[in-house]
Amino acid sequence: MSTIQPRSSRVLIILAFAAIYVLWGSTYLAIRYAIDTLPPFLMAASRFLIAGTILFAWAAVTGERMRNALSQWPKALLLGGMLLLAGNGGVTWAEKYIATGLAALLVASEPLWVVLLNWGLTRNRPNAKVLLGVFVGMAGVALLVSGGFGNAHASSKMSFVSAGVVLLAGFSWAAGSVYANHRPIQASTSMASGMQMLGGGLLLLVVALVAGDVHRLNLANASWVSIGAVCYLIVFGSLVAFTAYSWLLRNVTPARAATYAYVNPVVAVLLGWFLASEPLTFRMLIAAAIIVGSVILITTFGREHTTPDSGTIHDSDCPTHPCA
């Protein structure tokens, strides 16, 4: 861990936690505003290509070098596909049809998939408290989905499909994270993340072309709110919050850093209710408490610490938040 003065350390830790708690929690609503007047896949491709270019360029300018550079790009493309195309892209598309708070709570089930995937790969059964967390989390997701989808403008069929897409997106993110844990990119955090964002951004751009997002793009009709939301996602979601999280991993325990996993959904639900007039029902509050409780059990009592993003944390290859 880094050695810094106690007083400055305390201030920086507070600021870093504020960044990952609030900024990452707010990205769900920012995505909703961004796709109001911008095609979803093209918007996602643009933000990750820009953020990835900035991170990769910064790593190169500061003198960071990558071992076996050419051999690492296929891995970056694969991880970008699992984490950003299927993971973030699925969430971005689904927010057209379901409330942002619901999307955040469904994404919060991701640690369940990480535990199950690690169990399947390593054949090491999680301890009883972690298994309890898995079952409790699944019960919370079932309660949440059974209560409706919180978007009066979408058909019930599309809302149901979108909720399923978010769950699959969380599974894909977990699968990519487990793969990154076992096959990390041999590069620094900033360079590896920049490569993943560039790879995922290129794949999202291909999907945007196939889905017709380029033809649907009309910048004359794009609102300043949507454009501002994209800028917010690039700067605060991908760059500021990610940098804060990377710094925390070097200055606090991984378990403390991972607490964002059960704060972000609460922030997302409250912001969606307060700023976007999304419904906040008693059922949602109960489901949120159940899901958050399951994440606490999993992240606190796991034999090997896992986070919703990356499984066991490697400084050299730390995947970002699903909406980073």
Predicted local distance difference test score (pLDDT) of residue 320: 56
Nearest to 29 by CA among 320, 260, 275: 275
Answer yes or no: is pLDDT of 145 > 60.
yes
Nearest to 277 by CA among 101, 38, 74, 45: 101
Predicted local distance difference test score (pLDDT) of residue 284: 81
What does the alpha-carbon distance between residue 262 and residue 130 come to, in Å, rounded to a whole number? 15
43: confidence class by pLDDT, cuts 50, 70, 90 = very high
Q: Tell me phi and psi for residue 311, to 5 degrees.
A: 65, -140
313: confidence class by pLDDT, cuts 50, 70, 90 = very low
Predicted local distance difference test score (pLDDT) of residue 254: 61
Determine the straight-line distance between the first and last CA of the chain, rounded to whole angstroms. Answer: 24
Q: Which amino acid is at 110?
A: E
**Which of 79-88, 99-108, 109-118, 261-270 ranks highest by mean pLDDT?**
79-88
Please classify residue 151 by burial: count the beta carbons closer than 10 Å to its beta carbon, then call 0-12 exposed, 13-18 middle and 19+ buried.
buried
Predicted local distance difference test score (pLDDT) of residue 319: 54
Q: Would you say 30 and 238 are in contact if contact means Cβ atoms under 8 Å apart?
A: no
For residue range 50-106, list pLDDT tens digits in order: 999 998 888 888 877 666 667 889 999 999 999 999 999 999 999 999 888 888 888
Average pLDDT over residues 23-35: 94
Average pLDDT over residues 161-168: 90
- Cα distances (angstroms) measured from residue 221 to each of 182, 227, 252: 45, 11, 45
Average pLDDT over residues 286-302: 80
Query: And the tokens for 299?
Result: 């992240």
Predicted local distance difference test score (pLDDT) of residue 156: 72
Predicted local distance difference test score (pLDDT) of residue 147: 63
Answer yes or no: is pLDDT of 117 > 80.
yes
Answer yes or no: is pLDDT of 309 > 70.
no
157: confidence class by pLDDT, cuts 50, 70, 90 = confident
Kindly state the percentage of the chain with pLDDT values over 90. Answer: 29
Place of tokens 């830790």: 13
- Mean pLDDT for the chain? 82
Q: Would you say 31 and 229 are in contact if contact means Cβ atoms under 8 Å apart?
A: yes
DSSP 249-315: HHHS-HHHHGGGGGTHHHHHHHHHHHHH-----HHHHHHHHHHHHHHHHHHHH-SS--BTTTBS--T
Nearest to 110 by CA among 61, 167, 63: 167
pTM of the model as a whole: 0.83
- Cα distances (angstroms) measured from residue 209 to each of 43, 75, 214: 12, 23, 6
Q: Which of 31-45, 176-190, 252-266, 310-324 has the lowest mean pLDDT?
A: 310-324
Q: Which residue has the higher pLDDT, 285 or 308?
A: 285
Q: Which residues make Cβ contacts (< 8 Å) with residue 228, sequence separation at least 6?
A: 33
What does the alpha-carbon distance between residue 62 and residue 59 come to, in Å, rounded to a whole number? 5
